[in-house]
Chain A
Amino acid sequence: MATPSKPGIRWHIVVFLAPAVLVYTAVMIYPLFNTLRLSFFSEIDQERVWVGLDNFRTLFGNTIWSDQFWNALGNNTWFFIIHMLVQNPIGVALAAILSSPRLRFAALYRSAIFIPTILSFVIVGFAWKLILSPIWGIAPGMLDAIGLKFLYQPWLGKEEYALTTLALVSVWQYVGIPMMLIYAALLSIPDEILEAGECDGITGLSAFWKIKLPLILPSIGIISILTFVGNFNAFDLIYAAQGALAGPDFSTDILGTFMYRTFFGFQLQLGDPHMGSAIASAMFVIILIGVCLYLFGIQRRLRNYQF
């Protein structure tokens, strides 16, 4: 080991660790647990009182709250499913094409396809809102040009389409991330393995399905859990496109917007930090379950290949 162990405290270690640990503990870990703690309190006569599990009883037992919660959770799950079914397969497909050897302009395509990912949700939300708007008419005009005008609907304004449309907008924005990560994983597959496959007559598409795909499964696992965490704490896109009320008629409400509305209040409802904390705690548990399922269920089963 580099430093001979001396008796006493090696102060330089403390100095090196202190700033990061202090900021991280004070601004991230402590508030996180404090939020969990606050969910057991309520404000009665302007005083903070311990109410035990009452907030959760309200959240799950009172139909006004529980309907909203299950609606938000259901919408959030659908949001996640769309990402898994659309974003990740497209990302993998694009990465597979980009990683094929001697493809010209690969860097150019890669940079261009990644551009939406760097834009903020505010820009993306408004840009798509304008494009899909029936007033402006870009979307209906383009459908008209290919003879499909009858397909046009004011997607963001209709309850049955709004959530799916927003999920697809989010997919459009974030497809760059799975694309890049899978691309990196595909590049790290050694040529010898592919050449060995070629000797056995496995080339082209079958090489992808039989050799490459199994080898990039760990990366797909990482992308899935990143998508999960990202989706279950999403907020910005819905807020930018549909506002805090997540219209039409809460059909695009997800946990992030639900928590924001509860915490800050909107229109006539007053903000309630304690109910907000209760929702945050529920989100924490959901994310924790997802992460644990991944760490103990999926990741351990995937064999990591070391080259």
Chain B
Amino acid sequence: MTKARSSLSTKTTMHAVLIVYTIIALFPVFVILINSFKSRRAIFRDPLGLPNEETFSLIGYQTVLKQGDFFLYFQNSMIVTVVSLALILLFGAMAAFALAEYRFKGNTLMGLYLALGIMIPIRIGTVAILEMMVSTGLVNTLTALILVYTAQGLPLAVFILSEFMKGVSDDLKNAGRIDGLSEYKIFFRLVLPLVRPAMATVAVFNMIPIWNDLWFPLILAPAEEVKTLTLGSQVFIGQFVTDWNAVLSALSMAILPVMILYVIFSRQLIRGITSGAVK
């Protein structure tokens, strides 16, 4: 009896703690979202109230859509993220396969070399990266960003994928070899489909940091036509500091795509982290 009651009160305490923390985590996002739909007066008079018939207003969104080229920014972010992810996955999987499958001179050394980048942040090399992009004329192009993010994502991708590829059965690959498949076909037809879950994990891990990065867009591609959504909203908000409607709407519009991605991929993301892929 007492045991049952004490476990009930433990459960209640647990839920209470979790609910409080969930509120802390979501409150700022919630406040931004509801106020972006309110008129300027209502934002200040009743910041925590939900928008109603009287206070509802889309003026902020109108300003944002008129002044900032958010669709272009969104498109740029999309291109950069998708192409970088594709390259990380393709190149990463190929290198991981070479390291996991073949025994050759320098295999361990190559693995260590590629793993260096897991711990050393690529930002340290920014000065030389900018210089290189200037001299190759890639500054203010999306290509520059794609190259940087690909290089940044490869080390962890190779590491995670080669762990997975070591688990693919040798019998299957040898059966393929007996059937006369080339090493390339073995990789693309037999191994790649089997490591698809690990590839999804790598993709999800890389997606959010690439989408959210401010440093490299700011330094390598600040021009208007190649701005990413993160940089675009940063600049926009900086210019409209006093226009609260516009700032709140711009923030909401920047939150929206990430939230959609999260809702689609959250199961994959959480499964990826909890499967111990990054241990």
Contacts and interface: CB of A to CB of B under 8 A. Distances in A.
Interface of A: 1-3, 5, 10, 12-13, 15-17, 19-21, 23-24, 26-32, 34-35, 38, 90, 93-94, 97-98, 100, 103-105, 107, 109-124, 126-128, 130-131, 136-138, 141, 172, 175, 180-181, 183-185, 187-188, 204, 219, 222, 225, 229, 233, 235-236, 239-240, 256, 259, 263-264, 273, 276-277, 280, 283-284, 287-288, 291
Nearest to B129: A31
Mostly helix, strand, loop or mixed at chain B's interface? helix
A277 B208 CA distance: 28
Contacts of A20: 91-92, 94-95, 114, 154, 158
B131 interface: yes
Interface in B241-258: 244, 247-248, 251, 254-255, 258
Contacts of A35: 124-128
Contacts of B58: none
A16 B98 contact: yes
A127 B29 contact: yes
A127 B32 contact: yes
Contact of A16 (B14, B25, B130, B187): B187
Given A20-B158, A109-B18, A284-B120, A123 B126 contact: no
A118 B214 contact: no
Given A28-B151, A124-B28, 7 more contacts: A23-B147, A24-B114, A28-B154, A112-B25, A118-B259, A180-B274, A284-B120
A284 B47 contact: no
Contact of A120 (B10, B230, B261): B230
A98 B22 CA distance: 12
Nearest to B87: A23
Contacts of A2: 101-102, 170, 173-174, 177
A28 B29 CA distance: 35
Given A24-B151, A128-B28, A240-B234, A222 B279 contact: yes
Nearest to B6: A204
A136 B47 CA distance: 8
Contacts of B255: 119, 123
A23 B155 CA distance: 11
A256 B47 contact: no
A121 B212 contact: yes
16 contacts: A2-B173, A20-B91, A20-B154, A31-B126, A38-B128, A112-B25, A112-B26, A115-B26, A119-B212, A119-B258, A123-B254, A130-B32, A136-B44, A180-B273, A233-B124, A284-B120
Contacts of A107: 270
Contacts of B131: 34, 38, 273
A273 B120 contact: no
B48 interface: yes
B127 A287 contact: no
Interface string B144-166: 00011011101100100000000
Contact of A97 (B18, B125, B127, B208): B18
B86 interface: no
B223 interface: no
A122 B234 contact: yes
Contact of A127 (B28, B92, B259, B274): B28
A31 B212 contact: no
B28 A28 contact: no
A288 B169 CA distance: 38
A95 to B, nearest CB: 10
Contacts of B173: 2
Given A120-B258, A127-B251, A287-B121, A38 B129 contact: no
A231 B276 CA distance: 23
B4 interface: no
Contacts of A112: 22, 25-26
